[in-house]
Amino acid sequence: MPGLEDLYREIILDHYRAPRNRGELPVPPARKVEGFNPLCGDEVVLYLDLDAASGEVRDLRIGGQGCSISQASMSMMSAEVKGKSVDGARRLIRAFKALMSIHESKLEGDGDGADLAAELKGVRLGDLEALQGVVKFPVRIKCATLAWNTLQQGLDEAAAD
């Protein structure tokens, strides 16, 4: 019987092989943000179309290249965030980073991350939990969080306009 880890690996590979929302959007009105993870050579490109009036992520597209974890994470992020409010997207960013931080402290054997767990309360992570299941080393966590840090950068830049 396949274990949970096999299931997680399948979810990651599915997103890696068939990334959601891949493509580009015209800039402007969309905003282009890029992120790099020099530790692994991952790059992500994000096109964000934010609706200022409704405060929603109207559309987004992704591009870039890198390892399966970085690219799957970006695909999952795009699927979760599209159509969400900017506030909802920010909540998800915090929750995902908390999930990874808890995981990292477990991998490094310090702390139980009880304070971080508060960020996760009431947030549905769905497929995103699969990333926690396949990231085996703290250094790979940078691969998983790259897309989310890039999204955060895009939202911050838009808020500063």
Write the single-letter amino acid at 78.
S
Contact 87, 125 (CB under 8 A): no
**17-46 footprint of Zn ion as x/- string (CB under 5 A):** -----------------------x-x----
Between 67 and 120, CB nearer to Zn ion: 67
Q: Interacting stretch for Zn ion, rule CB under 5 A, among 1-9, 20-28, 63-71, 116-124?
A: 63-71
Which of 50, 56, 70, 71: binder of Zn ion (CB under 5 A)?
70
For 59, the token pair is: 């559309």
92 closest CA partner among 51, 55, 132, 123: 123
Could you say whether residue 67 binds Zn ion (CB under 5 A)? Answer: yes
Distance CA(132)–CA(99), nearest Å, equals 7
Could you say whether residue 134 binds Zn ion (CB under 5 A)? Answer: no
For 117, the token pair is: 């767990």
Could you say whether residue 73 binds Zn ion (CB under 5 A)? Answer: no
